[in-house]
Amino acid sequence: MSDEEGTFCLVLHSHLPWLAHHGTWPVGEEWLYQAWAHSYLPVVDLLRRFADEGRRDLLTLGVTPVLAAQLDDPYCLRAFHEWLGHWRLRAEHAGSLWRGRLADLAAVEYRAALAATEEFETRWRHGFSPVLRSLVDDDVVELLGGPATHPFQPLLDERVRSFALRTGLADTALRLDHRPAGIWAPECGYAPGMEATYAAEGVRRFLVDGPSLRGDTAAARTVGSSEVVCFGRDLEVTYRVWSPKAGYPGHAHYRDFHTWDHEVGLKPARVTGKHVEPADKAPYDPAAASATLRGHVDDFVDTVVTRLRTLRREHGRRGLVVAAYDTELFGHWWHEGPAWLEAVLRALPEAGVRVTTLRGALAAGHLGGPVELPASSWGSGKDWRVWDGEQVADMVEANTGLQRRLLALADAPHVRTSRDPVRDQAVTEALLALSSDWAFMVTKDSAADYARRRARQHTERFDRLAALSATDPARALAEAANLRELSHPFGHLDAR
């Protein structure tokens, strides 16, 4: 593989909170099934095709334990299969209603639904883990793990933080027979000293946002006095695709994520313009989108090459660019995203860029000296305000109290030497309440009521189980069994 210009690492972060049995539309299971159909299936398909071509160390793929649990869950597998069938029926209905260019789009939707169903019924019928394991075993991807339910780690008590991380890494090892050496720290959240937790749990590398390294992301760096390594996201390159204000997916020719034909449940419009009302948006034109995509592929490759040449002039050696995105961007949020992703991964090596994983970047020598990292995240302001700001102060206070009660439950005398299903479920509910998603959704005013309800619901379930375990063990067992039907991502979780 050529590395004349330098090294490029693409990191994808795959995550959704626990959604099964917790609402459907507009927030809930529908969110999971849309991302599954439009992002996870096509991204895995392109990885499999690269694997068939003999490509190795292609990209670094983070999959959070709570998402993996849903993609393996028997209930979710059945429900997603039904969702795929409804997608085909919606496309058929659109074909009977839409005219002109939209009639062609309905036919494209129908074929996509059939292809997704066939892919799911053949390769995914036993869940995600067998599919992912083949990619990991063949070194097509480097796998990143993470804490069990994607909590914002800087706001966790050290014991809770360690337990959440240990539980998440153990879950990945059980599913894939592979314990990740690296993690995607949820929200890239970091507090000074967290590298000690990582080292204790066997984590050797993690991601931070570029400003945490004051923009010096041209090499990985050891953190403090530890041997744990951090990689910084290069925002100059990353933001060409997706930024708070601009990026490729907002181009007028691309399919509009927010505009629905609610009669058929499909998206018929192109972006058209930032300030154009949904009713006034132009019909989606796949040919125009495809032509725009080719230009954006060329632009991104040029951006990476230019950045690497600049780094080489500044540092006197080949540099490293790390671009990191949510996997759900590709297909779910940005309809054309998977096609762009495949084209970029093919074009960069042709432009003289080494494309590899974080592991591969270290093997290529992209490691600098130690660094002291500040408290940081990849959220607004690059600090903790999204998860610890005024809008969510009540949630932070509630989570702090929940952690105190969780630790009190853990420290309470307990006569049983075997596992206690009541305590196991109580701990599960506490971890689900501590998911970073709830505060993010409130701060960003994205289904904030749903997020507050979910956080409160799991906290109340924990408190109910904790109280019953001390006063009415028989009723506590029955309550825990009922809650396991709704929220049971980690069968191995042991409260002891």
- Condensed to tens digits (0 to 9), the pLDDT of residues 323-367 reads 999 999 999 999 999 999 999 999 999 999 999 999 999 999 999
What is the model's pLDDT at position 2?
54
Please check whether residue 330 is in contact with residue 43, taking contact to mean a CB–CB distance below 8 angstroms.
Answer: yes
CA distance 72 to 75: 9
- The answer to whether 336 is a known catalytic residue is no
Torsion over CA of 185, 186, 189 and 194, rounded to 10 degrees? -40
Position 26 scores a pLDDT of 85
List the structure tokens of 146: 């993470």
404, 364: one domain: no
If asked whether residues 26 and 140 sit together in one domain, one would say yes
Do 409 and 288 have their domain in common? no
Number of C-beta neighbours around residue 254 at 10 A: 23
In the chain, the N- to C-terminal Cα span, in Å, equals 49
| Domain stop point among 340, 371, 402 | 371
Q: How many CA atoms lie within 13 A of 70 on its CB side?
A: 28
Closest to 483 in 3D by CA, of 21, 107, 6: 21
**β-sheet bridge partners, residue 343:** none
Per DSSP, the three-state class of 235 is helix
Q: Is 121 found in the same domain as 182?
A: yes
Low-confidence spans in the chain with pLDDT less than 50: 1
CB distance 489 to 69 below 8 Å: yes
Are 304 and 8 in contact by the 8 Å Cβ rule? The answer is yes
Is residue 187 annotated as a catalytic residue, yes or no?
yes
What distances in angstroms separate CA 81 from CA 89, 100, 113, one per listed residue?
13, 30, 11
- Structural domain including 413 reads 389-484
Listed residue (204, 127, 196) closest to 162, CA to CA: 196
The answer to whether position 491 is within a domain reads no
Query: Which one of 323, 345, 371 terminates a domain?
Result: 371
Helices (H), 124-192: 128-137, 158-176
Give domain status of residue 377, yes or no: no
- The answer to whether 380 touches 211, Cβ cutoff 8 Å, is no
Same domain, 189 and 311: yes
Q: Is 146 exposed, middle or buried (0-12, 13-18, 19+ CB in 10 A)?
A: buried
Is 164 domain-assigned?
yes
- CATH assignment of the domain containing 438: 1.20.1430.10
> What's the pLDDT at 416?
62
Last-in-domain residue among 341, 371, 401: 371
Burial class (CB in 10 A: 0-12, 13-18, 19+), 455: buried
Pair (312, 170) in one structural domain: yes
Rounded Cα distance between 321 and 355, Å, is: 10
Specify whether the CB–CB gap between 480 and 428 falls below 8 A. Answer: no
Reported as type and span, the H/E element at residue 109 is helix 101-123
Same structural domain for residues 319 and 456?
no
Q: In terms of Cα–Cα distance, which of 142, 150, 190, 148 is closest to 172? A: 148
Domains in the chain: how many in total? 2
Does 199 map to a domain?
A: yes
Do 320 and 400 belong to one domain?
no
* Statement to judge: residues 154 and 220 lie in one domain: yes
Encoded amino acid at 3, one letter: D
Residue 167: inside a domain: yes
Give the CATH number, domain containing residue 183.
Answer: 3.20.110.10
| Sign of the CA dihedral with 33 first, then 325, 64, and 15 last | negative
The catalytic residue among 45, 236, 285, 326 is 326
Report whether 14 contacts 62 (CB < 8 A).
yes
Active-site pick, 5, 57, 187, 424: 187
387: left (phi over 0), alpha (psi -120 to 50) or beta: alpha
How many other C-beta atoms can be found within 10 angstroms of the C-beta atom of residue 449? 10
Regarding beta strands 229-233 and 220-223, do their DSSP bridges make them parallel or antiparallel, or are they unpaired?
Answer: antiparallel
